[in-house]
A and B are shown apart, each in its own frame.
Chain A
Amino acid sequence: MKIKCIAIDDEPLALEQIGSYVQKTPFLELIATCKNAYEALDILKEKEVDLMFIDIDMPDISGLDLVKSLVKKPQIIFTTAYSEYAFEGFQVDAIDYLLKPINYAAFLKAANKSKIWFEVSFHRLKNDFILRAND
């Protein structure tokens, strides 16, 4: 089972790069790339999303504001040139924080973190289910 991802960045090239990184990672599936928070909100309404790669500094609505506004949060990985936002980023439960320029190795490391998280929670779910079945 692949992890369903979206990428959000206002800069077209940065977005294309993250999109291409997602596509070349076997355990990730690219659902959509979004140029701004509004596009992302539309996608999140319609589709199931497990993981979000999101830029922080964007016009209109910043990445942080978007994440804060979500009731049901997917996993979050911030992609940004702003290292000073890291603390705030982790406060909204981001699992990782990628500093631009981003190379594939750093991207993959963050993606792996997410994979491990999903595997663990999946196992937990399965175990819960088994326990309940045994009751």
Chain B
Amino acid sequence: MPAPEGYRLKKTDNEPTPFSIFADLLIFAVLLTGASTTLKLTSRWITEENMRREIEREQLKTELTLLKYQVSPHFLMNTLNNIHALIDLDVDRAKDAVIKLSLLMRYLLYDSAHGKTTLRKELEFIESYISMMKIRYPKNVVVEYIVPAEIPDISIPPMLFISFLENAFKHGISYRAESYIHFKLEITAGNIICQIRNSKHSSGNEPVLETKKYSGIGLANIRKNLQLLYSESYTLNINDRQDEFEVNLTLPLHREN
């Protein structure tokens, strides 16, 4: 039913009023802002997601590198070669060495992967490592391992001492002079104090093998790692003397975080 004549609305469709222009602009502006915000948010989300992935990837890479360099592949190959030789020469010692190596590998592959271990396990690992090294080197290399009889039940990040010890074996041995490697760990009221010392050999006029210095990168990595784990609560002193290399690492018994 058509509306009565008198009530018919006046057509205004084609004549924009100031208000309708304003409304149009407002809607347009709202849409634009909305779109740009969405765009911005999405792009931020993508960036953040990428960053997160990047961090994850970096972490994985670090973990893998760590795993690879915690104990050098050469250590493993040389140890296997010695066990291979022992099988011909002394079967019992060979068996013993396989057990020690498997302890060591188990620690490396499983325990240390969690980023947390107990001091006792860490020291067991150090002990197996030293006994493997003793198989490799002649008897005139003196290896000392001193730890407290009672090891307290505390958790520590794994593999903190091994790079220093590995380094000590790498640079501490000479066949022309007395060589020693000393590993000492003490527990005080609030700290774990670890000292690793090795003999150093300056070769006078002899043809000098370019003694690979403590690789700067290695040490920088260790410091970075310690910084991350303990921030300011650790101390690391390295004394590089003429005839001895000494590392002193002091860690708090309990970590804050």
Binding site for B on A (CB under 8 A): 10-14, 16-17, 20, 35-36, 38, 57, 59-62, 65, 69, 81-82, 99-103
A61 x B209 contact (CB < 8 A):
yes
- Residues in chain A near residue B84, CB distance under 8 A: 17, 101-103
Minimum C-beta distance from A56 to chain B (A): 10
Which B positions have Cβ atoms within 8 angstroms of A?
A: 73-74, 77-78, 80-86, 88-89, 135-138, 173-176, 201, 203, 206-207, 209
- Residues on B with C-beta less than 8 A from A20 are 88
Tell me if B's interface is mostly helix, strand, loop or mixed: helix
CA of A101 to CA of B203 in the docked complex: distance in angstroms? 31
Contact status A81-B89, CB under 8 Å: no
* Chain A residues touching B, majority SS: loop
**Cα–Cα, bound, A110→B206 (Å):** 32
Q: Are B74's CB and A10's CB within 8 A? A: no
A13 CA / B82 CA spacing, docked (Å): 6
| A16-B85 contact, Cβ under 8 Å, with A35-B138, A81-B74, A101-B77 | yes
Q: Which residue of A lies closest to B73 (CB)?
A: A81
Contact between chains at A35 and B85 (CB < 8 Å): no
Knowing A35-B138, A101-B84, say if A62 contacts B89 (CB, 8 Å).
no
Offer 10 A-B interface pairs, CB within 8 angstroms, sorted by A.
A10-B138, A11-B136, A13-B86, A17-B81, A20-B88, A38-B175, A59-B175, A60-B206, A65-B209, A101-B81
Could you tell me the distance between the alpha carbons of A29 and B18 in the complex, rounded to whole angstroms?
Answer: 111
